[in-house]
Amino acid sequence: MRPRTRRAIVEHLSDFERLVEVGVGERTDVAAALAETGRTVTATDVHPREVPAAVEFAIDDVLDPDPVVYRDADAVYALNLPPELHRPALEAARRHDAAFLFTTLGGDQPAVPVERETVPGETIFVARR
């Protein structure tokens, strides 16, 4: 991800104090940057991942989410989220009254109703404020 795009996404997500990133994979730069701004960030993935010290990590599958992971979140977000995970991630956010924002990979279109917010180099889909 380009630095300008990362900064814009971080700035957009910085409105929230407690965030959960779904499917962090090996891309920890947004979670790390959010933590550097004083936000509480939990990164999740179905596989164990190394994350920066300021970021919490939880093994979680959004298809069968652990409520403890999402309980105190103000926002759930995902980067490059595949369409088959849009609805499950939205449901996890809804269950905990959290906002849900995501980006897709390439030409994938959102599989849930969204508002589009353009930032440099990316579109952030807001499925729940």
Q: What is the pLDDT of residue 104?
A: 96
Q: What is the pLDDT of residue 128?
A: 83
pTM of the full predicted structure? 0.96
What is the rounded distance in angstroms from the CA atom of residue 91 to the CA atom of residue 30? 23
CA dist 84 → 2, 6, 104, 105 (Å): 26, 24, 11, 12
For residues 128 and 115, which has the higher predicted lDDT (pLDDT)? 115
Is residue 51 within 8 Å of 43, Cβ to Cβ? yes
Q: What is the pLDDT of residue 1?
A: 80
Average pLDDT over the chain, rounded to whole?
96
pLDDT single digits (tens) 1-52: 889 999 999 999 999 999 999 999 999 999 999 999 999 999 999 999 999 9
What is the rounded distance in angstroms from the CA atom of residue 119 to the CA atom of residue 4? 9
